[in-house]
Amino acid sequence: MVSHLRPLAANHTVLAEVSTIAWLIAGWLAAFVVNFVPAFMPPSAAVLAAFHIGAGVPLLPLTLPGAVAAALGRTLLALSTRRMMRYVPAADRKNAEAIGAWFGRCRRWRWPLVALYFAGPFPSNVLFIAAGAGRVPLMPLALTFALTRAVSDTFWVWTGSVASRNAHSLARGAFTDWRALVLQLVGVVAVVLVFRLPWARWLGIED
């Protein structure tokens, strides 16, 4: 009897491992998508927490590659913005490029400050859109984003798993919580200001 049950137990273990891998891949893809879409997406930490709680996928295999997937999504957003700049009015394009020129001058503290920004609750889309428009080097920006989010997302996913055992309510809160919606609106306004405010004149780098 026991010998007949062993193959069933082995098959169940294999299926569980395949299911875990499938959920991990789905979580990574979700992190990529929510970071590629420029606005009105939930934070990747909330999405990853939903997979961690709802599907029971392990924390670090979810969040560490998830941070890389998120960085790839943000990088693609910046590259898409860069390709779209040809359709932006010349004055708006000049304003955005002025931010990139100013960023290139601030060498000493720029990456620590960027890391602190990424670690906070602020929308990261505006930095990548500004980077794409202003031709800021994307590789160090994406690397800083990935390293920072690997730490912060792991912390927030773990915190979310302790605070909530309901993945549905956790994911829904990312869309309906008024604070999350305010942050999304702030991100949209910030993207508009990147192009509309006279940065070239304010930063003293007009031709």
Given this model, what pLDDT does residue 149 score?
Answer: 95
DSSP E strands in 99-195: the ranges are none
Q: What is the mean pLDDT of the chain?
A: 80
pTM, 2 dp: 0.80
- For the chain, the C-alpha Rg in angstroms (whole number) is 21
Tell whether the model's pLDDT for residue 102 goes beyond 80.
no
Cβ contact 148:118 at 8 Å: yes
Tell whether the model's pLDDT for residue 198 goes beyond 80.
no
Residue in 71, 134, 136, 78 with CA at minimum distance from that of residue 107: 136
> Between 175 and 44, where is the model more confident?
44
> Between 112 and 177, where is the model more confident?
112
**Residues 19, 83: Cα–Cα separation, whole Å:** 38
Residue in 80, 182, 87 with CA at minimum distance from that of residue 132: 80
**Residues 193, 187: Cα–Cα separation, whole Å:** 10
Residue boundaries of the structural domains of the chain: 2-202
Average pLDDT over residues 167-192: 63
